[in-house]
Amino acid sequence: FKASQMVKGLFVLITALSFGIALSSGFTHWMVTEDGLSIQSVSDSPFLMAQPHSLVQFLDQERKLDAISQNRELFSEHEKMIREQEKIDDPEIESKIRSSDEDCLAAGTFSTNRDPFIVSYTLVDPLEDLEYMIGIVKDLNEDIPRENPYCTSDLPFSMYAFEHLPSMQQRAGLSIPYEHELQKSLPSRFRLLDFGHYVAVALEKEPTSAPLLNLAALYWRIRGEASNAVECLRRSLHYSTQQKRAGVMFALGNMLHRAGHSLDAIVLYQLVLAEIDDAFVHMALADALVVVQNRSDAIVEYDAAFARDPKMSDASLKAAALRCDQKLVDAMEKQHKNLLDTISEKNLYNNRYELVKTLEENVRKNVLDADGKLQSTLIYEYFTYGTLPHVSCRTVKHSGRSAMQCTISDWRRYRAAVSEKHQKLITAARRNAPQFSNETFDLSGDEEEEESQELIEFLNALDPFKGIDMDEPNGRPIYPRKIESSMSRLLERYLSNSWPNRSLCDANRWRHPMPTADNLPQLFMSPDNKGYSVSDLLNKYLGLSPLKEHPLPWALPECGSFIRDQPLSSMFKLPGVVHASSRGRSVKFAEERLRQTFVNLVGNRATQADVAQRIRTLLKYNIGPKWLVFNLAALYWRIAGVPGEAISCLRAALFFQPERHADVALTQLAQIVMRTASRDEHLSDASALLNTAIHVDPNEPLTYFLNGLIQILQKKYSIALAHVRAAVILDPLFQPAVDVLHALKCAASKDGGNPVGERIQARCCSPSQPNVLCFVSLGGACFTARKHGVYEANNCDINNRQSKDVCWRATPLVPFIAPSLSYDTSDAGNLENVESLKNRQDTNTDGLDDWIDNSDEIALDFGAEQCLQRIRERSRITTTPMSQTQVLYAGAKRVMTKEAEEVWEEEVTVHIVPFPESPLSLSQISDRRQMLAYDIELPEVLPLPLKEQIRLGLQYLPPSRTSDPNFCNNMKMTISMLHEQTTSTWVSVTAKGVGLEQYMDLSNPAPAIAGFEPNCPDLDEPSPLRTFDHLPAYHLREQFIFYKPEKALTDAFQSLGNERERIEHVAGRLMIAMKVSKLTPNLSKNQDGGVHWTLSTASTLFWRVKGDAVNALKCLRHSLNNAPPDMKDVALVSMANIYHQAGLLHSALIAG
C-alpha cells in the first residue's frame, strides 16, 4: 500500500484500541483472546512481575506459562488413553477364549507340551521282510543261545547315509525310549528275543540284505537302543533300491526325532515327501516342526495329513490345539503390551504433573505478592482517572529508591468514585468513535484520481491484446525429448539391474522414500512443455514486467461464472471428481511446494497475489488461450488448498477448448482427485483420467509417472514400476520419476526379487490353443495375443468350460510387456490407433467423454510411435521354454528367445596382443613391467567412480585434517617402488552381508588329514564375458613368473575357521563344505558342480596364500559364473589384485 494508506490504517488501529480500552475496567494487563481477533483485560495477570524491569525474567515467565499450557492440554489426552487401555485389559481373556473359540473347543484338554508329539511311525510293512527272512532261515535249534542282530558289515562311504547331519556324526551317543508300539506290527507268535535271534542268523548269511537290515533296525527300536538301530538303517539306506529307500529314510527320521534331533528329522521327512505324498509323512513332519517351535508350518502339515486321510483324527486334534495355543499367545502378548503401555502412560502422566507443579511454583515466585498487586492497581487508577477522593498517594523511599504508595481511607466510597469516572470515560469514547471512523476512511480526492489514472492507463495499454488467442505455440515442444549420448548412458544406468546397489539403497533410504497418500509429489505440467511461453503471456501481453506489479485493486481468479450454466460432462460425474469438488478449503489440500513454480511464471521476485491478479485480468479481457489461462487459475487454487474451485477452472479449460492440450488439465484434475481420495475407487477414477491424458499426448513423462504413483497407492508395485520406468525412458532427467524408480527397485531388492520381472511360460492347452502365455509368479495367469494389440485372458481348462461368447480382459501388465514377445501382433493396431487419434484430433469434439479409459493398463498403444518404440526397446521381457517350471533367480542360466539377426559392416581397429612363443622365465624377463608387452591395451576412457561412491568411501576413510609438510620427503616412494611392492587385497563375503557359517560347519572338529584342499569344480557352461576370459592375463595364468605366495593373507584365511586353527584345517573345512553343498539341494541348485559360490570365493584365499594362481583363478571364475550380480565385485577385486601382482596392470584395471 501507499504511505498514506498505511498511516490511515495505523490511525484506525489506534482508534479501535482506544475505544476498546475505554470500554473496559481499569486493569494493568491485557491479553489477546484465543481466536486472535480482540484483546481482553486480565485481573490477575501472571505477567505482573516482581521485577518488571527484567526482560530476561519476563521472557522466561512467558516460556514457563506456555509450557504449563501445553502440558495441561496433554493431561486430558493421557487420562483418555489410560482409561481406554484399562478397558482393554481383561484378566479373564484366557478362559473366554478357551470357552468360545472353535479350535479351543475342538482341542479340549489336549496338551501341547512335548510328549504328545513324540510318536512312533513306520511306513515299512515288516510282513514282506519277514517272509524274506523265513525263506532264508526256516528251522532253528531252540536250545542254542539267543543272538542279537548287530549290523557290523563293512560300509564304504555312502552318499545315502547322511553323514553330514550332526545327529549321524554323534550317533554313538543317541538314546531313545522303548518303542513297544512297533511290536504290534509283528506276528503275535514271535517273542522279541526269538525275533531278534532269527534276524541275527539271517544277517550272518546275508549281511547286506536291505529287508534283513530293516528288521534288525525294527528290533533295536523296540528295545530302545538308538545307536544299533542307526547302524542298521545306515546300511539299509546304502543297499536299498530307489523304491524302498524313502521308507527307510522315514524310519531314520522318526528315530532321530525321538532321539531329540528334530531338525535333522525334518530334513529327512522333506526328502521323503519328495518321493511319497503320504499322510503319515505329513503327520511326522508336523510333530517334528512342533518340537522345534515352528508351529505355523506344523499346522499346515497337520491339515495336509488330515486332507489325505480323514480317518487320522489326531491330525485335526493337534492342529486345533496348536491354533488355540497361538490365539492364546497372541492375546496374552497383546495384554502384556497393553499393560506396559498403560504403565508407561501413567509414568508420563505423573512426570508431566510434577513438571507442571514445579513450573507453577516458579511462576508464582516471579509474580508480585498481593500487596504489590493492590498498589499497582491503585497507581494505575490514579494516573488513569486523576485525583480521586478517599485515596492518598505519595512518594516514599525504599532501599534507596523512590516509589509511589497509595492508601485508602474508605473502600466503598472509593470504588463508587472509580466507577463514576469509568462510566464518564466510556460515554466520551462512544461519542467520539463515529467521528474518528469518518476521518479514518475518508479518502482524499487527489489520491482517488491518482489510483484511477494509473488503472486507466493500464487498461488503455491492454486494448491491442484484448481478445487475442495464441493459436500456435511460439516455441518447440520439449517432448518427445531427444536422447543425447550422455542422457543415453544415464538411462542405461537407471535401467540396469545393478542400479541402485545395496549401499545406495541404504544410504538414500530417507532421501528417496516410497510415496504415500500423505506425501505425494506436487507437480504441474507446464504449458512451456507444449511450446507456449507462459512468461510472455503474464508479462508482455499485459504490458508488465517481472519487476512491475499489476495495478490495484487485486482479486482472485475465480472461474465459476464462466461455466455456471453449463451441464456437467460425464468426466466430472466420476465419484472421485465429485468427491474432490465437494471438499472445501483446507491446509491438508494446499500444495505449498508448487508456490515457487507458480511465482516463477512471472519472475522470482513476484508475489502470489500479483500473479493471481494477472491471471484474473487475462480471464476478464479474454487474452491468450483459454485452456492455458484456466489451467493457470487452477494451479493457483491448488496452492491455496481449494480443490472445488480448482476443478471449476479445469472444467472451464476442458469445456472451451477440449481439443487443445487437454492432458495439461487432465493431469491437474487427476492430482486433485489423488490428494482428496478417500476410497480406492477414487484412485481408479484418477487413473482413468491419466489414461485419457496419455491418449491425448503419450510423450509426456509426467502422465506415466502419476499413473505409477496411483499403482503404488493401490499396492500394485509391478504395474507401478512399469509406469515409472516408462517415464524415465521418456525423460531420464525427470528427477521425481528417477527418485521413485530408485525407491521401487530398492524395495524390490529388499524383498528378494524384481516385482515386475515375471517370467513367461509358453503353454499348449489344446490343438486349437497352441500359443497360450502364462506368468509363473502371478498365480498362473495366462493370456492369448490377438490381432491389433488385443490381449485376451485364457486359463486353458477354465476357458474351455466357459461360454465361447464370454471375453475376459488379460491381466493389466500384459499390454506393457506383450510387445516384447517374439510374435508381437500389436504393431498394426498401434498404427491404426495413431491414425485414429489424428482423425479424432482433426474433428472438433464436444468433449473428452468418449476418451475416458477406466482400465488400469499402461496405455502404450495410442500414438507417439517414436516414444512407444523407445519404451518397448527398453522393456524387453525374457520368456522361458515350456520345460522351464520355476522362476529364474540371479545366478541361474538365462534362456533367451531367438530374435532376428541384423547384419552390418563396420570398420573396427583391432589390437593384436602377442602371446609368448615359449614359456616365460626370469632369464627372459627380469622386470615385472615387461609383462605389459603381453597385456591388452587400455580403453581410451576408464570409468571413474561415482560421486556417491566417493562420498560413502570418505565416511569410512576420511582424509587427515592435519598434513605433514615433510610427508613426501619422508616416504621417498617412487613409481617404480609402487610397481615392485604390491599389496595383497581381499574382500570378504561377510562385508556384503553374507554369513560364511551358513555354508561351512564350524562346530565339528577340524579335519587334519593331509591332502584336503578346496579344489573348485569346472564350469558346466562358462560365460567368457562373465568370467573375463577375454583378458590376456587369463590365458597367461600358468606363466605368472612374478606371482609369489601371498603370506599377508594368512591371517585373513585362518579367520574363516575357528580360533588358532591351522591353514590345513581351514582348507579341510572348505573341502568338506563343498561336498556337503553338492548333497544339499538348496545350496547346489543352479551352481556349477553343485558348489555354492561363497565356498569357491573363500577357497580363493587358500590358493593365494599357497601362491597357486591357476587354482585361485579357477575358483574366481566359478564365483563370477554363479554369484548374484551384486556380489560379483568380491571376486573381481581378488582377480584384479592377482593380475596386478603378476604385472598385468591393464587386465587388473579392467577387471577391477
pLDDT at 520: 92
In the Cβ-directed half-sphere of 990, how many Cα atoms lie within 13 Å? Answer: 10
The C-alpha atoms of residue 211 and residue 135 are separated, in whole angstroms, by 12
Residues 736 and 789 in one domain: no
Tell me, yes or no, whether 641 lies in a domain: yes
Residues 721 and 789 in one domain: no
Host H or E run for residue 647:
helix 643-656
The answer to whether residue 173 scores a pLDDT higher than 50 is yes
686: confidence class by pLDDT, cuts 50, 70, 90: very high
Tell me, yes or no, whether 289 lies in a domain: no
Which grid coordinates belong to 740? Answer: 521413485
675: confidence class by pLDDT, cuts 50, 70, 90: very high
Residues 727 and 795 in one domain: no
916: confidence class by pLDDT, cuts 50, 70, 90: confident
Residues 693 and 557 in one domain: yes
721: confidence class by pLDDT, cuts 50, 70, 90: very high
Tell me, yes or no, whether 647 lies in a domain: yes
Residue carrying the nine cell digits 565416511: 955
Could you tell me which of 256, 234, 285, 267 has the C-alpha nearest to residue 167? 256
Backbone angles phi, psi at 820, to 5 degrees: -85, -5
Residues 771 and 746 in one domain: no
Domain-terminating residue out of 730, 751, 772: 751
Domain-terminating residue out of 405, 440, 475: 440
Q: What is the pLDDT of residues 1022-1075, one digit of tens each?
A: 777 788 888 888 888 888 888 889 988 888 888 888 776 788 888 888 888 888
1024 vs 995, more confident: 995
Q: Which of 485-494, 551-560, 778-787, 878-887 has the lowest mean pLDDT?
A: 878-887
Q: What is the pLDDT of residues 257-289, one digit of tens each?
A: 888 898 999 999 899 888 888 888 999 999 999
Residues 766 and 716 in one domain: no
Tell me, yes or no, whether 72 lies in a domain: no
Residues 667 and 715 in one domain: yes
Looking only at the bridges linking them, the beta strands covering 760-763 and 879-880 are parallel
The model carries a pTM of 0.39
Tell me, yes or no, whether 798 lies in a domain: yes
Mean pLDDT across 526-545: 89
Is the bond preceding residue 480 a cis peptide, omega within 30 degrees? Answer: yes
Indicate the number of domains in the chain. Answer: 5
Mean pLDDT across 557-565: 89
Q: What is the pLDDT of residues 809-835, one digit of tens each?
A: 455 455 545 544 433 333 333 333 333
Average pLDDT, the chain: 77
pLDDT at 616: 93
CA 588 to chain centre: 25
pLDDT at 288: 92
Is the bond preceding residue 500 a cis peptide, omega within 30 degrees? Answer: yes
The C-alpha atoms of residue 230 and residue 1128 are separated, in whole angstroms, by 43
The C-alpha atoms of residue 644 and residue 578 are separated, in whole angstroms, by 9
23 vs 407, more confident: 407
Residues 719 and 785 in one domain: no
Mean pLDDT across 364-381: 84
User: 328-367 burial by CB neighbour count: b if 16+ within 10 A, else e?
Assistant: beebeeebeebeeebeebeeebeebeeebeebeeebeebb
Is the bond preceding residue 464 a cis peptide, omega within 30 degrees? Answer: no
**Burial class of residue 142, CB neighbours in 10 A (0-12, 13-18, 19+):** exposed
710: confidence class by pLDDT, cuts 50, 70, 90: very high
Cβ neighbours of residue 962 closer than 8 Å, sequence gap 6 or more: none
Residues 176 and 148 in one domain: yes
The answer to whether residue 21 scores a pLDDT higher than 50 is no
CA 501 to chain centre: 14
Q: How many CB atoms lie within 10 A of CB 219?
A: 26
The C-alpha atoms of residue 1130 and residue 1139 are separated, in whole angstroms, by 15
Distances (CA, A) of 1026 to 184, 877, 880: 61, 21, 21
pLDDT at 558: 92
The C-alpha atoms of residue 126 and residue 317 are separated, in whole angstroms, by 29
Mean pLDDT across 1143-1149: 85
452: confidence class by pLDDT, cuts 50, 70, 90: low
pLDDT at 704: 94
User: Per DSSP, what are the bridge partners of residue 403?
Assistant: 396
Tell me, yes or no, whether 98 lies in a domain: no
Q: Which of 226-230, 440-444, 1128-1132 has the lowest mean pLDDT?
A: 440-444
Using DSSP, state whether 895 is helix, strand or coil: coil
Could you tell me which of 695, 715, 879, 851 has the C-alpha nearest to residue 783? 879
Residues 711 and 774 in one domain: no
Tell me, yes or no, whether 90 lies in a domain: no
Could you tell me which of 302, 304, 286 has the C-alpha nearest to residue 294? 286
Q: Give the relative orientation of helices 735-751 and 717-730 as an angle to the nearest 10 degrees.
A: 140
What's the CA angle centered on 573, arms 570 and 576, to 5 degrees? 130
Using DSSP, state whether 405 is helix, strand or coil: strand
Domain-terminating residue out of 207, 233, 261: 261
Percentage of the residues of the chain whose pLDDT score is greater than 70: 75
pLDDT at 913: 66
The C-alpha atoms of residue 346 and residue 352 are separated, in whole angstroms, by 10
Backbone angles phi, psi at 674, to 5 degrees: -60, -40
540 vs 888, more confident: 540
Structural domain range at position 874: 760-880
300 vs 845, more confident: 300
Residues 778 and 739 in one domain: no
Residues 745 and 793 in one domain: no
Tell me, yes or no, whether 297 lies in a domain: no
What's the CA angle centered on 1120, arms 1119 and 1123, to 5 degrees? 70
Percentage of the residues of the chain whose pLDDT score is greater than 90: 17
Which grid coordinates belong to 1033? Answer: 592375463
The amino acid that residue 147 corresponds to is E
In Å, the largest CA–CA distance within the chain is 143
Cβ neighbours of residue 541 closer than 8 Å, sequence gap 6 or more: 465, 468, 618, 623, 624
Q: What is the CATH number for 720?
A: 1.25.40.10
The answer to whether residue 893 scores a pLDDT higher than 60 is no
Q: Is residue 164 a contact partner of residue 1076, using CB atoms and an 8 Å limit? A: yes
